[in-house]
Structures are given as C-alpha cells and as structure tokens.
Amino acid sequence: MTHQGTLGVAVIGTGRMGADHVRRINEVISGARVAAVVDVDAERAKAVAQGVDGCTAHTDPAAALASDDVDAVLIASPGPAHEATLLAAFAHDLPVLCEKPLTPDAASALRVLEAEQRLGRRRVQVGFMRRYDAEYLRLKALLDSRELGRPLMLHNRHRNASSPPWFTSAMLINDSVVHEMDVTRWLLGQEITAVTVLRPVPSGNAPEGLEDPQLVLFETDGGVIVDTEINVNCGFGYQVQAEVVCERGTARIGDGHTMVTNAAGRWGGTIAQDFVERFADAYDREVQAWVDATRRGEVTGPSVWDGYAAAAVCEAGVRAQREGTRITVDLIARPALYH
Ligand SMILES: NC(=O)c1ccc[n+]([C@@H]2O[C@H](COP(=O)([O-])OP(=O)(O)OC[C@H]3O[C@@H](n4cnc5c(N)ncnc54)[C@H](O)[C@@H]3O)[C@@H](O)[C@H]2O)c1
Ligand SMILES: O[C@H]1[C@H](O)[C@@H](O)[C@H](O)[C@@H](O)[C@H]1O
C-alpha cells in the first residue's frame, strides 16, 4: 500500500463511469488515490490523469497492473473487456471493483467464477450499486425483518429519459434490467428460475427498430412473481421504483420527492435526469465500502456468483424476448466459496 496506507487504485476505462469514479476517489471518498488510469483512447486517459496528482496514464491494462503503485483495480471499461482485466488482476493478486455486468454472458462469467475459485478466496466486488442506495437498503431491512410477512410480488419500474444511439432491444434486458435481476435476488434472497418478456407497441419516442418499452417477468425459487417495466425513452427523466407486496402490507421506494412544491396551479417535485444523479450517493457508498474492505484485507458486497447469476438470467431474458416464450434459467450449483 502506497502513501501512508492509502490504497493505490488503477481505474480501467475512463469514459462516463470511469471518469466519475476517478473524481469520486480523488474528491469524495477517503483511503484511496488514483495511481493509474487506462483507456484504449490514449488522449482520454491522459486528460483524466492530468487532473490527478501522481497518476500515470496507460493504454494497456497490463502496464498499470504491474506498477508497484497499484494495490487494487476498478474496472469501468465496456462489459466485453471485463474478463481479460479480471483474469489479469487475479494473476497479480489484486482486489477488484468491477462495474456491472461482470461479463456479458454466462460462459465468460463462469470462467471468472472458476478462476476466482482457483485462487481460493474472493477478490471481486461487482458494481451493482443499488445495494448501496439508502432506499433499497431500507426496503431490504424491512423485508429481512419479516414485519410485513413473506414477500409475494415485486413490481419494478426502470425508466431512462432516453437511450444512447447504440442501444439495442437486447440491451434493455442485459444492460438495464440486469439491475432488477440483482436487486430481486438480493432483496428476496432467492434465485430467479424463469423469465418471460412481453412487448407492447413500441413508443414513438424510441428510435426506429428499438422495442421499447418491455415488461419483463421473473419467477423465483421462493414462488415470488416479479415484474419490471423497462422503458428507456420515457422522455421525462430517470426513474427507478420498486414496490414489494407482502402478506401483511406493501412497501414502495423510488418516489424520491424530497421536496414538494405548490405553484402555478400544479404541485410536485423534480425527477433526476440520469443514473449519475439518482444514484450519486449509492456510487459513493459502493466505492467507499470497497476501499474500506480492501484496506481491511476483506472482500464484501455483490460477488462473482451474483455476477454469474445475473448473466445467466440475462441470457434467458434475451432468449425469452427473441423467442416470445417463457425461458427457464440454468444455474450451476453454488460453489462453497459463495455460501
Ligand atoms: N452501475 C451503473 O449504474 C452503470 C452506469 C453506466 C455504465 N455502467 C457500466 O460501466 C462500464 C463503463 O460504461 P460507461 O458508460 O462508462 O462507458 P463509456 O463508453 O463511457 O466508457 C468506456 C471507456 O472504456 C474505454 N475502453 C474500451 N475498451 C477498453 C479496454 N479494453 N481497456 C481499457 N479501456 C477501454 C473506452 O475508450 C471508453 O473511454 C460498463 O460496464 C457499463 O455497463 C454502469
Ligand atoms: O448502463 C446503464 C446503467 O446501468 C443504468 O443504471 C441503467 O439505468 C441504464 O438503463 C443502463 O443503460
């Protein structure tokens, strides 16, 4: 560990999330510094490194991972690039915070799972940041207390103001609904066993050819039914809501009205415009929790098993969407490392 016990972090990928995590490590959280940044776009890496004291810029993760200044790795490159960097970090015995998705498909996630098991201990926290959001944490605590009895149904709404130009119909499932896959498994403590996808008439707001919105149904091994409206061109803002229906009551999060105003014949509040705004505190808590655990020599939070399970549900979801039928999810038995 460098500089009086401060964790030296290499941030891989300095795009939207990577640059935001560099700012967070530099300005918001404690116990870590950005020692190196890596991006295949050399200019982007250099521009981000310039704003950080003692930070080197690289185009190849191998150079950064081999540096004596680097104690830990934060991966924020696109999903298909995650596996290679995860395996390289394992080879250097470095702890990792890996943005979601762990990897884009179940086979590659399984390879990472097997590699981590060969190390014999957990090395990776996966960036499912909703587990660090104050509202989701309250909902989880309520469900764990069983105050409302057993959960029976979970209704989710996941709305983005607009989708980026490269967004595909499959990405509604594996880039967006992947978050509901993780919170469903985490909130309920159950695995998702089957997925069905229903598609209404596409919104006129959606780019030509994008099947948006969609309604995604999960069945779980505890008999809970979960529905998620995914709607990535809703136009009005970024909205993530969840309502759990239990035997003796319901609980709902995500209305997010910290202040309600009355003016000009209307009442109401404001809606965040993107995930960076809505989940700002959750990202801060996620990265701080990773740094704190790493400095204690521990690994906490969403695991490679969680990343693998989400990848397997994504695969079933994309098939369910394509084939228009209910698809069951096949998971391997959970290895002892993740019990
Ligand atoms: N948790 C969340 O809410 C959330 C939100 C958005 C994105 N993400 C995830 O964060 C990751 C990055 O997404 P983004 O929106 O920042 O993307 P982005 O396109 O803005 O940035 C990705 C960066 O990685 C670089 N890059 C590409 N291949 C690379 C490689 N092999 N090695 C190093 N750098 C490489 C690109 O040049 C680019 O600068 C993705 O895994 C994405 O799913 C998570
Ligand atoms: O990559 C992003 C990100 O994961 C957001 O949290 C989600 O709301 C978006 O739909 C997705 O495209």
pLDDT of residue 97: 99
Mind giving me the DSSP string for 262-285?
EETTEEE----SSHHHHTHHHHHH
Which ligand has the nearest atom to the CA of 99? 1
- More confident of the two residues 176 and 1: 176
Q: What is the pLDDT of residues 71-110, one digit of tens each?
A: 999 999 999 999 999 999 999 999 999 999 999 999 999 9
**Average pLDDT of the segment spanning 224-249:** 98
**Average pLDDT of the segment spanning 214-231:** 98
Locate 40 and state its tokens: 């295949």
Q: What is the pLDDT of residues 129-152, one digit of tens each?
A: 999 999 999 999 999 999 999 999
Which ligand has the nearest atom to the CA of 170? 2
97 contacts 76 by C-beta, under 8 angstroms? no
Closest atom of ligand 2 to 164 CA is: 12
Alpha-helical (H) ranges within 67-200 are 82-91, 106-119, 134-145, 169-171, 178-188
pLDDT of residue 1: 67
Closest atom of ligand 1 to 45 CA is: 39
pLDDT of residue 202: 97
**Collapsing DSSP states into helix, strand and coil, what is residue 305?**
helix
Confidence bin at 258 (pLDDT 50/70/90): confident
Instruction: Name which of 221, 225, 125, 232 is nearest 174 in CA terms.
Output: 232
pLDDT of residue 259: 87
Confidence bin at 61 (pLDDT 50/70/90): very high
Instruction: Name which of 169, 179, 210 is nearest 318 in CA terms.
Output: 169
To test the ligand 1 pocket, which listed residue (20, 37, 40) has its Cβ within 8 A of the most ligand atoms? 40
**Average pLDDT of the segment spanning 165-187:** 97
To test the ligand 2 pocket, which listed residue (126, 156, 176, 212) has its Cβ within 8 A of the most ligand atoms? 176
Q: What is the pLDDT of residues 21-56, one digit of tens each?
A: 999 999 999 999 999 999 999 999 999 999 999 999
For the chain, domains (ranges, CATH) are: 7-130+281-303 (3.40.50.720), 135-278+310-338 (3.30.360.10)
Alpha carbons 252 and 83: distance in angstroms, whole number = 36
- More confident of the two residues 257 and 65: 65
Instruction: Name which of 240, 239, 166 is nearest 207 in CA terms.
Output: 166
